[in-house]
Amino acid sequence: MSKNNPYPAQPQTVYQADPTFIQSMQAMKANVIEQSKQCMHRPVRVQMVEGQVLEGTVVHLDSDYIYLKVEMNPETMRQPYNPYYNPYNSSVILPLVLYNLLAITLLL
């Protein structure tokens, strides 16, 4: 190994999740998926861990994401760069990571 190489010869583990934590996260994910199935094709309000709140309709669900169809408001659509902008349709489908969900509320 060269003296100028900043990397160790053997990989060094920087972080490893505790097995109890992993089991807890897997159980939480299974619970979110099960509860989200009841929300399919229904209007919901979703609160994310970082604080964002979105309202839309659940259109799909898989093992990692819940797909939420949201209507774009005129202010969002006028931003200089918006990758979701479609002049023919004011709605987009956002994939939301299940681990980032804090709350899902059915809107009647």
Q: What is the pTM of this model?
A: 0.69
Sheet-wide strand order for 65-71: 91-97, 65-71, 53-61, 43-48, 101-106
From 44, 15, 20, 59, select the one nearest 102 (Cα to Cα). 44
**Domains of the chain by range and CATH?**
41-106 (2.30.30.100)
Instruction: Encode pLDDT of 23-77 as tens digits.
Output: 998 998 899 889 889 999 999 999 988 888 999 999 999 988 999 998 876 555 4
Helical residues (DSSP H) of the chain, grouped into ranges: 19-37, 74-77
